[in-house]
Structure 1
């Protein structure tokens, strides 16, 4: 059962006294979005307050029964928020959740003909049929590749986690969710990427957008290494070491560090192709090509250092 905090109650009281304040409106909306119990608590407090106010009005001015305009505004705003929260929770609960627990790559077609390829442990949620005005789905964790076709002027929106929105008409792109960042790599078409509190970023083929605590950043990818989990190949042709190591870390799920004293090597170019080699073998080849030492500590972390 929901136990309201003093701060939550104080927020509602302040909102009742100043329903036109946009900051308070946002805070009330955030409180209601925390869950159905929070939403119900806000509505009940408003109803109790409104009922008390009407009783006081009947006692002192029995012929008018008028509620001040500002309080009617508060009623309208909270009712609208309640409807929005209800639709939000209902729409989320009616989605089909597809979680890949097979240990292998899985793929399927969505109702609009879009193709979704899920890496092991990836999870997405989508409706049985898309809305006429918007094709919207959610990605909850892991890594996945999407190939989205044009569909009768219906924009496509993918909500990644709780903070990143991707909007497009038709495109092919890869999404990877890590603990501290979300990376979106586009192979075809155009994707608009927006993080919470960030300006929209336009991604075209060969560009990768990264959303992290640092904000929203864009980088040029020389290789298609972001798709290595899907293709099973690591192919590098004059690719900067910085990008090569990023691909290796993601593909093998390992830690590879370059100390500050050796950061100059990150700009060196690597040309090499791998298909079934293990992580250590790949790193050995890369380190020899650029002329650096490769070491490994007790925790399994790899280090590239200058000779």
Structure 2
């Protein structure tokens, strides 16, 4: 793969527009430790892209120069290089080329300026853990908190928490077992919400493509805040906070513990979900692309439970309940039928 194609693929992946085949290329790319370091740097810049402000071209060039200088410092410090698929070595200046595309063509700038400009060491202290489609993982943070990551999830956290708080950000789904520390609250940023805890166990689901964010409390107590740190609600065990992104409306409700946390044990539970929502879960779980050709069957509501089952078994079971047929070719699943 040519150098420019690699840059474009990384950007495409961060935008969530890659095919299953391209996801596999990303997986292979990240197997190299040096490439992973490069990717982590790019993700941190990418995560500065949530809001827009007007930046003139001259200021863009100034900030890009600062970024390039910072990358030079990393290179001089760690002496790292990137090995391409053709085994050619390139210096870490390649990051600057990708970052230039992100800064000038793709990324809005407000959070980048607010969080990173004027504080050149903050990126060095942050780590981003990413799971691709079809992957699940777990990590222990510096305070002993254990985090289980579902597929297609990004967790950004400091190498060492500060003395007065523990703050991370999440895109995707994770199950937290937070170490109790009454002097340092644990803060999780997910979209427009902040979850504040001292020590507790809960599940957070906040995929970018989903219309809602849900926070499901297993043990302890959590407080939900908005971006302005205004209190929205407090959860007790067995309560779930559901936030609708489009309307900024939210509600508190009971939830099925086994269903919400089943993914952590490699179990899939569908209890009356629509086929189009089930398809999103299967895409993330198995690393495939699912195309539903007939809109009539998207609304079919299905019930099923699967434990460590291959995709073909899952689809064969669902097709009888949903009265549809499917075919798989090159990680693409096509579903068609008359409707349920």
Please give the range of the TM-score, normalised by the shorter of the 2 chains: 0.5 to 0.7
Q: Distance in 2 between matches of 1:149 and 1:137?
A: 14
Counterpart check, 1:209 vs 2:242? yes
Counterparts of 1:135-146 in structure 2, within 5 Å, are: 135-139=166-170, 141-146=171-176
Deviation at 1:115, TM superposition (A): 0.9
The structural deviation recorded for 1:211 is: 4.8
Distance in 2 between residues matched to 1:224 and 1:251, nearest whole Å: 18
Figure out how many residues of one structure are paired with residues of the other and give that number. Answer: 226
User: Structure 1's 104 and 179: CA in aligned 2 closer, same or farther, altered over 3 A?
Assistant: closer
Q: Is the contact made by 1:95 and 1:125 (CA closer than 8 Å) also made in structure 2?
A: no
Q: Which has the larger radius of gyration?
A: 1
d(CA) in 1 for partners of 2:168 and 2:176? Answer: 11
Contact in 2 for aligned 1:146/1:174 (Cα 8 Å): yes
2:325 to 295, 298, 302: 295
Q: 1:230 aligns with which of 246, 251, 264?
A: 264
Given that 2:142 and 2:161 are in contact with CA atoms closer than 8 Å, whether structure 1 keeps it comes out as: yes
Distance, in Å, in 1 between the alignment partners of 2:122 and 2:55 is: 12
Residue aligning to 1:190: 221
> Structure 1 residues 86, 33: closer, same or farther in 2, change over 3 A?
farther
How far off its partner does 1:148 sit? 0.6
Aligned to 1:277: 309
Q: Which residue of 1 aligns with 2:194?
A: 165
Higher relative CO (Cα under 8 Å, sequence separation at least 6) belongs to 2
Is 1:99 aligned to residue 116 of structure 2? no
SS of 2:317's partner is: helix
1:195–1:160 CA distance, 2 compared to 1 (3 A): same
**Inter-partner Cα distance in structure 2 for 1:248 and 1:85:** 35
Residue matched to 1:23: none
How many angstroms does 1:157 deviate by? 0.5
Q: Distance in 2 between matches of 1:259 and 1:167?
A: 43
Q: Do 2:216 and 2:255's aligned partners in 1 also have CA atoms closer than 8 Å?
A: no
Give the superposition deviation at 1:134.
Answer: 1.8
Alpha-carbon contact 1:287-1:304 (below 8 Å) kept = no
Query: What CA distance in whole angstroms lies between the structure 2 residues aligned with 1:286 and 1:273?
Result: 10
Contact 1:97-1:123 within 8 A present in 2 as well: no
